[in-house]
Chain A
Amino acid sequence: MTILSVPLSTLKLGEKSNVVHLDVKGLLRRRILDLGIVPGTVLTCIGKAPAGDPIAYLVRDTVIALRSEDASLISVDSKFR
């Protein structure tokens, strides 16, 4: 069974899901991995800037803000429970 995934940037405030795939390349990929965002990590959307960018996520008890452009390269499970 394949998991249906959606871009992380589509999570609404308060929603959470786990990472399925990272489509980020190069140094940004390294940075994102180092911040603890790896396949399987659960992220919660906890805030959006007025213009919708950047977006704050709770990752392993730490708040991390991502540009929505970058967040759209991270796929999360669309049916997370």
Chain B
Amino acid sequence: MKLKMGDRSNALKGHGRVMREHFGIRTTGEQYVIALAGNPNVGKSTVFNALTGLHQHTGNWPGKTVDNAQGTYLYRNKSFLLVDLPGTYSLLAHTVEEEIARDFICFGQLDATIVVLDATSLERNLNLALQVMEISSNVIVCVNLIDEAKKKKLSINFNELQKELGVPIVPTAARNGEGLQELQNAVFAMAVEKKKTWPKQVPYSEEVERAVCALLPKVEELGLARVINPKWLALRLLDSDVSFIETISRYAITQNQKTVALQQQGGELTQ
């Protein structure tokens, strides 16, 4: 099924899970939404296909035609909607793919985000993981291609990595189906059982941290803390990241309209 999105008024009209619909995501009843993020060529789609068994259909993202894949799977009688995001090295640069991935992680009201890393070049891949961890606290790190790493005689201390990052780490070799059960368990624990994690945050220079502290009260006034980590938002403001500031204002407006609509409904009911 092809969904044509991109009409902004659609999102403004939306009720409930506004941003998901904006992204062409429709959930049926009790379905948990999980995003797959990662650098290009780390095997995101292999993980995706292994989990969903290729029951995917594509949808169009707003803005430009960048295909994304969505699929569902059942695990312990719960339904999960998995969204395969475009491969990106970062969430801060401004290619279409990166903006899509960033907006979706920010506003998609995800129950979990799986960041897929290439076990053979962890150092480079961790950049994205740290960026996602700055935005969301529902992060699972999936270290894929461990079979390749073994071939290259690399050994990874997963326990230490987990301690270092503060989020669940799941080693996988999705090609051979290795680790998928553990990945599903981790997703289940986070999305269904609402298991909390405390992702380690990157410390910035004293100067930047001071500026963030000064901005925080204003940022918190926006009342978006539920959706976005206020510190991250403050950092983007400091970046004068114009495109993101536009996105966030659009989102804030949508949210406010929703609140107003809800208040009106509430008012009518009490009268």
**A36–B94 contact, CB under 8 A?**
no
Q: How far is the CA of A62 from the CA of B120 in the complex (A)?
A: 10
Measured in the bound complex, the distance between the Cα atoms of B92 and A60 in whole Å is 20
Decide if B225 is an interface residue (CB 8 Å cutoff).
no
Complex contact B121–A60 (CB within 8 A): yes
Assembly CA distance A38 to B143 (angstroms): 24
Which A51-76 residues have C-beta < 8 A from chain B?
59-62
The contact of B124 among A27, A30, A31, A60, by CB within 8 Å, is: A60
Assess the A27–B90 pair: CB atoms within 8 A.
no
A13 at the interface (CB under 8 A from B): no
Partner of A34, one of B89, B120, B121, B123: B89
Instruction: Please tell me if B93 contacts chain A, counting CB pairs below 8 Å.
Output: yes
Number of interchain pairs (Cβ within 8 Å): 28
User: Is A4 among interface residues, defined by CB-CB distance under 8 A?
Assistant: no
A30 lies within 8 A of B123 (CB)? no
Contacting residues, chain A, for B123 (C-beta < 8 A): 36, 60-61
Contact between A34 and B127 (Cβ–Cβ < 8 Å)? yes
Which of A30, A34, A59, A60 has most chain B Cβ within 10 Å?
A34
Contact of B120 among A27, A31, A61 (CB under 8 A): A61
Q: Per-residue 0/1 for B75-95: is the Cβ within 8 Å of any A Cβ (1 yes, 0 no)?
A: 000000000000001101110
Q: Is the CB of B120 within 8 A of A30?
A: no
**Please, what's the 1-or-0 string for B113-136, where 1 marks a CB less than 8 Å from any CB in chain A?**
000000011011001000000000
Interface residues of A (CB under 8 A from B): 27, 30-31, 34-36, 59-62
Which 10 pairs show the lowest CB-CB distances between chains A and B? A34-B90, A34-B89, A30-B93, A36-B124, A60-B124, A60-B123, A61-B121, A31-B93, A62-B121, A62-B124
